[in-house]
Amino acid sequence: MKQQDPYIKLSNPGNEPPEIVINFNNVRKVLATLNALNHKLRERILDRLDDLDDAATLENIMIQMRLDKSVVQEHLKILLRNQIILTTRNAANEVIYYQNDERLLQVIKFVDELNQ
């Protein structure tokens, strides 16, 4: 089966404006990031990270949100995959989750530009 070209060129013949090139791989990545943010529980996790001085362990998040470990882990995994949150380790070698402010600012800027 022939793999579809991720780039689609839209152009008009003649002396029309330059062609528009759409990279559908990038579109899919943007959609995945927006979908990751478009969930009430993940929104609450981001709010909780903000409340906990922008960083927390899995256990902190579970306790604060009163959710099972597997539920929190699944949503953290989605946020991590889309680089909305990042991780580091503390002195006790625990995984610490924190917001990726740079990525969130990119998303906010992108959404604001689309809404103009």
| 30 token code pair | 């943007």
pTM to 2 decimal places: 0.78
Asked: is 7-114 a CATH 3.40.50.720 domain? The reply is: no
The one-letter code for the residue type at 109 is K
DSSP states of 21-60 as a string?
A: EEEHHHHHHHHHHHHHHS-HHHHHHHHHHHHTTTEEEHHH
Residue identified by tokens 């991780």 is 87
Phi first, then psi: give them for residue 56, nearest 5 degrees.
-160, 155
CA neighbor of 65 nearest in space, from 88, 37, 40:
40
Digit-by-digit pLDDT tens for the chain (116 residues) are 455 666 656 666 666 776 788 888 888 998 999 999 999 999 999 998 887 776 899 999 999 999 999 999 999 999 999 999 999 999 999 999 999 999 999 999 989 998 88
CA neighbor of 111 nearest in space, from 49, 31, 46:
31
**pLDDT the model gives residue 83:** 95
**pLDDT the model gives residue 8:** 59
**pLDDT the model gives residue 76:** 97
Beta bridge partners of 56: 97
Sign of CA dihedral 41, 47, 48, 50: positive
| 34 token code pair | 């927006």
